[in-house]
Amino acid sequence: MKKIKIIKVIASLLAVASMLTAYPVRANAEWKQDSNGWWNTEGSSWSVGWKEIDRKWYYFRQDGYMAHDTAIDGYELGSDGAWIQAASNNLSNSKNVTTNEYKNFDINEFKNTLKTGGYPVEVRDTLYKENSVSKGWKLVNGKYYYFSFEGALAKDEIVDGYYLGVDGALDTTKGKSQLQDITMKTEESVYPIGTDKIRVDITNNTNLECEYGGIYYQIDKFENNEWHNLDFAEHATFTDMAALLPAKGTSMDICRLSILKDFNKLAAGKCRMVAEVGNSEGYSHVAAEFELQ
């Protein structure tokens, strides 16, 4: 098992307060429906990820809508959204963290996933740049590499389902594994322009202890049909810390938008928080969208 990385945290961005909870639905939860589908309210927010409701398991996507007539993490969901249980399966005790779901690797699918997900690829002549902190995907001499939010080259790990070899290069011979069941959501879906503090909850539904933090929280804005990363202010200060996310647990953080370089110029529109969560398997990126109005 790989040693979990120590991730830097922007002290002025995050006030970490771990809340170790399971993920039962709150007492004031309520089913609701609109033209896009069903969702389950939780106070002023909504359910995300796997939830057990009235002894049935449902999966809610990042936007809160219930998935149905599909398979999530290898588990089949019926037309009512409930998990169709088989005698050989037990969702609570035997959910796999990763399996080799896609045997054939599609490089065009890989490129399209990065593009639509808002993760641009930087083309380089050399893997490392002097006096430069790397972050994200790099294309070097025809090979793809990934640098974590803290600038470390990922090796012999899985990043968002993609296998990386011992040299860090993307390994296309292994196909793609399914994504880890880690989700994030904001406390509210809409905030007024000028809002500074935004609460996010990150839920780890896997059986592995995770950690995250950092700069390393990334804040994006959706403009011209693409996600664009927003720069932090030059006065941002950093400290060596790590936020632990226990297996089957939830952690709450307070993120500050005022750390952004152009905070006072933020206009109305769709934004998102992106966190990089690491464990012994590798890295997973989770996002929580919200609107500024």
Domain containing 52 — which CATH number? Answer: 2.10.270.10
Q: Using the 8-state DSSP alphabet, how is residue 3 labeled?
A: P
Closest by CA position to 140, among listed 156, 157, 121, 154 = 121
Cβ-contact 261, 232 below 8 angstroms = yes
| C-alpha closest to that of 74 among 65, 84, 60, 62 | 84
Could you give the C-alpha distances from 102 to 161, 192, 234, in angstroms and in order? Answer: 10, 42, 42
Tell me what pLDDT residue 25 has. Answer: 45
- The residue among 129, 164, 199 that closes a domain is 164
Q: Which two tokens stand for residue 267?
A: 């206009």
Residue 203 structure tokens: 């839920």
What integer pLDDT is reported at residue 238 of this predicted model? 55
Q: Residues 151-154: contacts with CB within 8 Å, 24+ apart?
A: 152/5, 153/127, 154/282, 154/283
Instruction: Name residues whose C-beta falls within 8 Å of residue 122's C-beta, 6 or more positions apart in sequence.
Output: 136, 137, 138, 139
Containing structural domain, residue 65:
30-77
| Residue 109, SS3 per DSSP | helix
Q: Is residue 96 part of a domain?
A: no
Q: Is residue 60 included in any domain, yes or no? A: yes
Q: What's 148's domain CATH number? A: 2.10.270
Tokens 């810390």 belong to 241
Q: Is residue 230 in a domain?
A: yes
Is 71 a member of any domain? yes
- Here the tokens at position 6 are 């120590």
Number of domains in the chain: 3
Q: How far apart are CA 94 and CA 91, in angstroms?
A: 6
Q: Which of 136, 164, 192 is where one domain is finished?
A: 164
What is the distance between the alpha carbons of residues 222 and 61, in angstroms, rounded to a whole number? Answer: 19
The answer to whether 62 and 72 are in contact (CB under 8 A) is no
Q: What is the structure's pLDDT at 85?
A: 67
User: Along the 293 residues of the chain, how does pLDDT read in single tens digits?
Assistant: 344 443 333 333 333 333 323 344 444 568 988 888 898 888 777 888 888 888 888 888 877 889 888 877 667 788 899 888 654 344 444 433 344 444 567 788 888 888 888 888 999 888 887 655 678 899 999 999 999 888 889 999 999 989 999 999 999 888 787 788 889 999 999 999 999 999 999 998 888 899 876 555 789 999 888 888 898 888 766 555 677 888 889 988 888 899 899 999 999 999 999 988 888 888 889 889 999 99
Same domain, 231 and 282: yes
Residues 194 and 144 in one domain: no
**In a domain? residue 10:** no
Assigned domain for 24 exists: no
Local structure of residue 232 (DSSP, 8 states): B
Residues 6+ apart with CB under 8 A from 235: none
Cα 180 to chain centroid, rounded: 9
- Do 201 and 134 share a structural domain? no
CA geometry: angle 126, 131, 134, nearest 5 deg: 60
Question: What CATH number corresponds to the domain at position 214?
Answer: 2.60.40.2550
Q: Which two tokens stand for residue 92?
A: 């609570």
State whether 40 and 128 are in the same domain: no
Euclidean distance between CA atoms 263 and 244, whole angstroms: 28
On the 0-12 / 13-18 / 19+ scale of CB atoms within 10 A, 104 is exposed
Q: Using alpha carbons, select from 227, 263, 267 the residue that is nearest to residue 117.
A: 227
